[in-house]
Structure 1
Amino acid sequence: MDTFLILTILVVIGALAFDFINGFHDTANAIATAVSTKALKPRQAIILAAAMNFLGAMTFTGVAKTITKDIVDPFKLENGSVVILAALIAAIAWNLITWYYGIPSSSSHAIIGSIAGAAIAAAGFGALNYQGFLKIIESLIISPVLAFIAGYIVYSIFKLIFKNYNLAKTNKGFRIFQIFTAALQSYTHGTNDAQKAMGIITMALISNNYLTTTDIPIWVQISCAIAMGLGTSIGGWKIIKTVGGRIMKIRPVNGAAADLTSAAIIFGATYIHLPVSTTHVITSSILGVGSAHRVKGVKWGTAQRMLITWFITLPISASLAAIMYLLLNLIF
């Protein structure tokens, strides 16, 4: 086999591994509130999330096309497979580190930062498609802010509507409703996050002249959907504990409000073909709901730790990818 084919195979394996890890790293966020309020048992939540993530991943490809062409131009990227492989190794490493410590870091930040870092190491800052790259960064920054504000508003509306209702009956009703919101949130997660790996594989195929357009091959879509579904089935208990209990004490009405908010923001981003961090959106919506419920009830220390991780993910993953590119370039 020639070097291009070997590198392409390694990228496909790496991208599917990234999607698999994303499944238990990020999908945990989608079901954390439903598990913490006992709306769903952990096993039930994971099976539901795996199925809905697969369905979501098979529905859209717009975000994948954005990843393929908006960070760097795959048609002009020299040594593209090595760049992409380095980015994948760096993103996977950072995901595993943050998963180990139970920190809900962003897989989206990690892979986008890694691609940028490896591309800069390969061809300088001119390798970046600045218009597309800045558009992606804007979506990553704006989406959690919108989620916080929307979470605050949605929960405030819930409080107003249900203030005179029996608390026990209201919580019981919302616990049932959370089954629907957990499914919806898992579906929207699949529509956005699974597509990132699809875009990466497509970049490699274009870079090595196996594809001439940015259209996502059906085998890429199916394999990424399966990888994310399998990853989801493993579960991410450390992340579930952080999101489901260490930000605030979540009750069914809080969880439902946060789930609806984050699902709407994520799906809105998918609709306009923009990648967002599902981790940031979900945790920000919980923070917004918590602030509307009782500001002092939010564990701001946990929130601060997550915020720091969010900020450092891009530069750290970019740096890791740049170092990895230099090492891989010696081999290939």
Structure 2
Amino acid sequence: MIQTCDHVLPHGITLRCRTAGMPGRPVLMLLHGFPEGAFIWDALLAHFSAPENGGFRCVAPDLRGYGGSSSPLGVEAYQPRHLVQDIRALIAAESPRVPLAALVAHDWGGAVAWSVAAQHPDCMDRLMILNAPHAGAFLRELREQAEQRQASEYMRFLRRADAPQLLAENDWQRTFRFFAQPDGRLPAWLTPALQDEYRAHWSRGLQGPCHYYGASPLYPPAPGAPDHLAQVRLPEAALHVAVPTLVLWGMNDPALRPGLLEGLEDWVPRLQIQHLRNTSHWVVHERPARVIDELERFVQRQVSDEGVAV
């Protein structure tokens, strides 16, 4: 049974979490992206908490700024170091003595998860990423590839001060457009019931979620504006991920182009990549059975000291 609990973290942030499974069992932690919420993981929580599927303790927070979690004012409160602090503290609360069995993350949750894995590799056994770019690859592609710069144009809109208000207009028309298919129609998985769940979630406010974009230096420069990307420096220590990592990537993602997968092994030596054909950015909604199957195999797999799956 899926429950809701509030974790009050030592640094004053509260994360509202959807949980399933008994405390004390190995923990799977799942991080959502924009403009989603913890509820997107419900099928995985129900599956992996079942005794016949491992009996994991499953924890999915609403990230800072989302849903019932703390939404501090000011864009500076959404800098990456604060987001990493939230998840590291949540891991310490839910799995204080042993590493997570796996950290699973999509989109902005994945951006945070890459950083947690780089900075705190001892807090997880495995990392699973769903369509979320590694910062080093994202910076490279934004600098060098016009296709990725064009695909990321929406980020400048979300940095605008009036973005939350515009997203709410006309019954969240612009926000639902993020899910639209190439022909402009909403996908079949976005049922009326799920649309209502999203409306209720968004009605708590989207200023915090938009601040993720405002706080990040990784966005395409406006035409004619100075190229701020030339000044961005990412510390190498913040890019290297030593834990075994599985990347599932919807190859039809219009916002995150496949070039982001190139060269990942330079930063992530214990890497596996699964290319999901005919799948867009919304992997969890479009391919839930595939995500469950891949995660099930991943957490059960034994990995040698050399990092080779056996």
> Which band: TM-score by shorter chain?
0.3 to 0.5
Query: Which has more strand, going by share of residues?
Result: 2
Query: Which has more helix, going by share of residues?
Result: 1
Q: Which has the larger radius of gyration?
A: 1
